[in-house]
Amino acid sequence: MDIFGAPVINRRELVTPIRNKTTQIDRMLLDPLYNDRRFAGGDMHTIFLARGLVIKETEYGNTVDDLFYVYSDRLYGHYGDKAMKTAREAAKEKVGNYQSAAYFEQMLRNLENDETIKLGHILSGVNVATQYSYRVFGYSTEK
């Protein structure tokens, strides 16, 4: 379940997740198209899983124990476009590679003003109603 109470559903794995935070993630996995068969029917897939973490299948989907989950669109709704843009720009300046888990980890740190955030899991999917792609971030924090 994400931090707002929505289930994190991941029905089947059809992609091999990246395990290194600095490795570039394929753009078609970060922002899948609505007609990508891997994401048909609203399926989402793990595109990043930090080394040492194990996915557990639960009633809420495939998640990792002890991580908080948040949907990317909920971040926009909570923080607003201006804060998201500022956090993304600062993350890109610090990390450089937009297509990496390290970038998204830094973006979350910027949004939450919390340098203890550790990103452990990224899922990606396509909303069947809107046909827009989204991501789900699983992270831990010492706060």
Contact 134, 72 (CB under 8 A): yes
Q: Which has the closest alpha carbon to 22: 72, 85, 96?
A: 96
Mean pLDDT over 89-100 rounds to: 94
Q: Is the pLDDT of residue 125 over 60?
A: yes
Question: Is-contact 126 39, C-beta < 8 A?
Answer: yes
Percent of the chain whose predicted confidence (pLDDT) is above 70: 90
Provide the pLDDT for residue 38. Answer: 83
| Model pLDDT for residues 134-143, shown as the tens digit of each residue | 999 999 999 7
Selection from 97, 81, 79, 6 nearest residue 44 by Cα: 6
- Predicted confidence band at 2 (pLDDT cuts at 50, 70, 90)? low
**46, 18 contact by CB (below 8 A):** no
Give 7-54 pLDDT, tens digit per residue: 665 545 467 899 999 999 999 999 999 888 888 878 888 999 999 999
Residue of 109, 113, 110 lying closest to 139 (CA atoms): 109
Nearest to 139 by CA among 3, 47, 36, 23: 3
Residue with tokens 């924090």: 141
The residues, any chain, with a CB within 8 Å of residue 115's CB and separated by 6 or more, are 109
Q: What is the pTM of this model?
A: 0.87
User: What is residue 14's predicted lDDT score, i.e. its pLDDT?
Assistant: 63
Q: Average pLDDT of the chain?
A: 89
Mean pLDDT within 81-107: 96
Q: Could you tell me the CA-to-CA distances from 30 to 3, 44, 111, 112, 125 in Å, in that order? A: 21, 11, 20, 22, 8
Helix, strand, or coil (residue 27): helix
Work out the average pLDDT over 124-132. 90
